[in-house]
Each structure stands twice: as structure tokens, then as C-alpha cells.
Structure 1
Amino acid sequence: MLRTVSLILFLMLPSLSFAQSCSFSVSSLNFGAVDTLSGAQINSTASISVNCTGTPLQRILLCPNLAAGSGGATSAAARQMKSGSNALNFQLYSDVARSIVWGSYNWSYAARSPAYALTLSALGSASGTITLYGAVPGGQSTVVPGTYLSTFSGATNTPFRYRYNSGSNCNSSTGTATTATFTVNASVAANCLVAVQNIDFGAKGVLSANSDATGGVSVTCTPGTTYTVALNGGTTNSAPTARKMSKGAETVTYGLYKDAARSQPWGDATTPGSTVPGAGNGLIQALTVYGRVPPQTTPTPGTYTDTVVVTVTY
């Protein structure tokens, strides 16, 4: 009789079923310092850790849904981090190529949560790690410097669902729900880029009259960033209107100016009031440099050159 009872109990054990229970935690996704003027995409990752218990050897389907976040979204391609009323676009993906947007069954865009699965061990437990891929796209030069943040939490933004299932359908609210909290953040610092166009006075004969030519300095600064543009005294460290182009020991005097009338010298901090101020808007701001070779004693024929250093201070 004891053997019979023992056999009946053994046959009944596999029919026992335990409710599944899963917990999730998500690390912060930090993009660090973002240079919005570079035009390059910035990538980062976060990790989703999951721990589940339940019926031994059963498969649990995991659907970690992610909606817009506290910064909102303006399109299927653009979630946003916010700094006050200012926004920085970013996106979350389920693949390392950052081509499949990570979404949710409860937001207005087509993207849905990727499906993951854990098979419980003979002891009824399992754990795993899922990588969340993030990207801040380039082409956001008009974003104002600041610290940007989006928070994901609660049933609206992180409805993580799970259930015993052999499939891969994460398009609905089916299953047990839990939530997790994490942040996405980045900082945009004030920055400036500079490019130049050389000045060529061309071929001249006797230097008996003014010879004029123009060049340029292009400045691109983050919005609201104030700057000044200085031109040094060239290789001879001369005054703004008495710079020297050289050929060996011989020189040609020339000046650089802020205005077409050549009345406002363009120099550096050693000549007070001679620099050019500005304020960035995230776009290229073109500044014309007006050059003049005044009448002077003509040196021997040849090519005369000088190198002027452009400095943007912001």
C-alpha cells in the first residue's frame, strides 16, 4: 500500500503549476556630452535585468514595453529629452544596428516591444539581461546648451508584461504587468566651430594705389553662445593695419578690416575694440574679412605671403 501511495504522488507532481513572477530593473542610459555641431550620431546602451520564478521548465514570454518617456515624442523616429522647454531628440532600439525602434502596445506609433523569453530551470527560476540601444541623431545644431532628461516609469511608460507562452506576440496588454524606472540623459555644452577663406590680392605691379581683396571667417556656435573673433598680427606680430607679407627679408604691408570702407581694423586683444563679437544660433554665420594693400615702395617681384591665426573665444 505504501508503494501504491508513493507512485500516485509521483504521477501527480508534474501536474502542479506555479504562478510566474518576474521583476525588472533598468540601468540609466547616459549619452554624456553631446556635440550637436559635429553632425555625428551619439550612441549609448542600457541594460534590462530580469529575474523570474514559476513552474519548472516552463517558458515565460517577456514584453518590456517602452512608451514615449516624460519628454514625449514628436514622431515615431523622435523621442525627446527636455531641458526646460528645450528638446533634444533621441531614440531607443532593440538592435545594435539601431534600425528597429523599441515601442509599446499603448503608444500611438507602429513600433512595438521586442519579444524575449526565459525558460525556467528545474528549480523554477531564471534570470537574464537584455540590452537597450539608444541614439541621439546628428543634425541638431540648433539645440540650446543644457542638461537634458527623460524619465521612464509607471504603467504608462514602462508596462513590462510577462506570461507563460510559447509565442512571440507583444502587440497587446496580455499577461501580468509590472513596471521599472530609469532615466535617459545627455548634456549639450556651448561650442563653436570655425572655418576660413583665404585672402588673395592677386598679381600686382607697382604698389602705387590701394589694392583690395576679401576673405572670410565662418563661425558656427550653439544657440545663445556669445563669442568674439580675433585675428592675430601674422608671422611678424604686427598691428592690424601694418601686417607684413614676406618673401625672404622683403615685405609688403597690408591691413585687415571689419568693414568694406576699411576704416575699422580687425585685430586681437592687444588692440582694444578690434575684435568682432557675435552670438550663435546653431547655423553658419559668415563674416567678411576686408584686406587692403596701401601704396608703398614696391619690393622685388615674387610671391609674398603671411599666415594669420583666427581665434574664436566663447
Structure 2
Amino acid sequence: MKVPTRAALAIAASLSASPVLAQSCSFSMSDMNFGVVNLASGSAVDSTGTLSITCSNPLSLALSIRICPNINAGSGGQSGGIRRMLQGSNTLNYQLYQNSARTTSWGSVAQPALGSPPPIDMALPLLINNATRTVYGRITAGQASAARGLYLTSFAGAETSFTYTSYTLFAPNCSDVTQNPTQVPFNVSAAVAPTCIVTAQNINFGNHGVLNTAVDATGAINLTCTANLSYSVALNGGLSNSPPAARQMVQAGSSIIYGLYRDANRANVWGSAAGQTASGTGTGGLQTLTVYGRVPAQNTPAPGNYADTVVVTVNY
């Protein structure tokens, strides 16, 4: 009776000394940095991040492993399924996607409004498998009103939960994969640049036989500047580099004197020196500044088309 007992003890000792074999995966995610972005045009801005995966398979009988990379909203939160970066109380909308066309959102089982996590399946014949996946980011269009500065959202702690499990024949749905929850921290950031976009409308004084009375006309300067950005607009002296009220339109050696002003009464000249510029604060939307022109009464030169070119400079 004692011999079998000793044999049983020997077998038990052998079993306890053997390692427990199971699949194991580790993950890392690069930060997604959109860099310095110009949103004044209202266009979308794209960037990418990289998810790296390493899975080991020490002699498992399973054929594959399914990974469910759940990414929640991050510290910036979300609104209507769109993620947000924050700068104090200011927000910047963006989204994460599974594909380069940015049509399929990358989301989470826990927050389905953001979309679904893309299941990643890896075969297990090898002892160690490595894979990478691109995460596609986009700052959504139509955010010219975003204030300048650095925006950030953090995916720390429970904001990510990458789960995985092995399977033999049929892959489980990610909603059923709760094993091995792993937190994978990363950040998403963007710096909104202070920017102004400017266009100008020509001033046409029309056709006149004689210049025995003043002739008035107007033009416009259209500005789209980053919200809360202070700016000033200067006009140079034209091709002749003349004073603001004595610019010259020329044709074949002849000239017509004219002036440009900031007010309808033509009392405040518009030039480039101190006290001659127009100023304002950007809203992120279109702002229009009227340029008031006047050709004063003067000797009428030879007939012809008279023109000048004035350069608009926006300082901010």
C-alpha cells in the first residue's frame, strides 16, 4: 500500500512543477499629434497613430486569438458620437477611424455611440506574433471659430480596455469578449494656430467725362481670423507709394489722385502708419471691412483707363 502512495506523490510533484501555458498579449499605442493646425479655412485636418500588438502562444491548442481594442471618448469626452479635445472650456471636435477613408469610426463596446471596436484576429501557430494597426484621426471640418492654443485629450485608465481571448473555430463577438482587459494609454493633441485669411474686392470709380466734383466708391476687405485674435489691417501707398489721401491711378504718364478711408465721411484715412490702420478681433467667421474711396475734384487728365494696385497687410 505504501508503494502506490509514493508513486502518486511523485506524479503530483511532477504536475505541480510544470508551467501553466496560456496566450498572452501586450499592446502599445503611439500618441496622435495633429501638430499646428490652421482651421481658418474650415477644412478638416488628418493625422494617424499606430497600435502595436505582441501575442505569445506557448503550445496552445487554440488556432486563433481575437483582440477587441476598445477606445472610449478620452478625457475630453464626446458629444453626439464625436470626440473632443479640450483647452480649458474651449473644445475641438475630432474622431478616430478604422479606415483611411475615415468612414468607419473606431469606438468601444462600452460607448457604442462612438462606433464599434475593430476586431483583430491573429493566428496562433507561432510562439510570438507581432502586428500593427493604424488608427486614423480627423479634426472635423467647420471649426474656424476654434480659439487658438493647445488642445489635448488623454486616454488613460479605463478610457481604453483592450480585451482578447483564444478560439478554435468561430470568433466571438467583441461584445462577448471580456477576458484580459488591458489599459493602453495615449494622448491626442493639436495646436490651433493664430491665422487670418484675407481677400479684397476692387474699387471701381466708374466712367466720368470730367472730374469737377468728387467721385465716391467703395470696396471691401474680407477677413476670416481665428476666434479672439486681435488684428490690424494696413493699406500701402499703391504703386506710387503716395500718402493715403493722395494715391495715384496712372495711365500713360498721366495720373488721377484718389484717397482711401476707413469711414463713410472720408475723414479717417486708411494707410499703414500709426493711427491709419483698421483693427478688430477675429470671430472665426467671415468679417467684412468696407474701404471708402474718393476721387477729389481735380483737373481731368487725358481719356483712358486709370488704375493702381494697393497691397493689404494683416498683422496679428
TM-score (norm 1): 0.90
Shift of 1:173: 4.6
Cα distance between partner residues in 1 of 2:73 and 2:31: 16
Counterparts in 2 of 1:110 and 1:194: CA distance versus 1, 3 Å: closer
Q: Does 1:28 align with 2:43?
A: no
Which residue, out of 58, 70, 93, partners 2:75?
Answer: 70
Could you list the per-position Cα deviations for residues 190-243 of structure 1 after superposition, in whole angstroms to 9, with x for gaps in the alignment? 110111110000000110001000001111110111111011110000001000
Which residue, out of 56, 65, 68, partners 1:60?
Answer: 65
User: Secondary structure at 1:109's aligned position in 2?
Assistant: helix
Q: How does 1:207-286 map to 2 (within 5 A)?
A: 207-269=211-273, 272-286=274-288
Cα distance between partner residues in 2 of 1:298 and 1:224: 47
Task: Supply the AA of the counterpart residue of 2:285.
Answer: L
Cα distance between partner residues in 2 of 1:255 and 1:61: 74
Shift of 1:171: 2.4
Deviation larger for 56-65 or 211-220: 56-65
Q: Does 1:43 align with 2:29?
A: no
Shift of 1:52: 1.2
Which residue, out of 278, 289, 292, partners 1:290?
Answer: 292
Task: Supply the AA of the counterpart residue of 1:126.
Answer: N
Task: Supply the AA of the counterpart residue of 1:102.
Answer: W
C-alpha contact 1:210 1:295 (8 A) present in aligned 2: yes
Deviation larger for 238-247 or 54-63: 54-63
Cα distance between partner residues in 2 of 1:256 and 1:313: 19
Which sections of structure 2, spanning at least 5 residues, go unmatched?
1-18
Deviation larger for 276-285 or 34-43: 34-43
Partner of 2:161: 159
Counterparts in 2 of 1:245 and 1:60: CA distance versus 1, 3 Å: same
Deviation larger for 169-178 or 100-109: 169-178
CA RMSD, Structure 1 to Structure 2 (Å) = 1.5
Percent identical pairs in the alignment equals 46
C-alpha contact 1:22 1:51 (8 A) present in aligned 2: yes
Q: Does 1:142 align with 2:136?
A: no
C-alpha contact 2:62 2:166 (8 A) present in aligned 1: no
TM-score (norm 2): 0.90
Cα distance between partner residues in 1 of 2:255 and 2:114: 69
Q: Does 1:116 align with 2:124?
A: no
User: Secondary structure at 1:264's aligned position in 2?
Assistant: coil
Cα distance between partner residues in 2 of 1:26 and 1:158: 11
Task: Supply the AA of the counterpart residue of 1:148.
Answer: Y
Cα distance between partner residues in 2 of 1:103 and 1:67: 6
Shift of 1:19: 2.0
Task: Supply the AA of the counterpart residue of 1:68.
Answer: A
Cα distance between partner residues in 1 of 2:143 and 2:172: 36
Shift of 1:189: 1.1
Counterparts in 2 of 1:132 and 1:213: CA distance versus 1, 3 Å: same
Could you list the per-position Cα deviations for residues 20-47 of structure 1 after superposition, in whole angstroms to 9, with x for gaps in the alignment? 2111110111111111112222111111
Could you list the per-position Cα deviations for residues 2-24 of structure 1 after superposition, in whole angstroms to 9, with x for gaps in the alignment? xxxxxxxxxxxxxx983221111
Partner of 2:13: none
Partner of 2:4: none
C-alpha contact 2:232 2:278 (8 A) present in aligned 1: yes
Shift of 1:172: 3.8
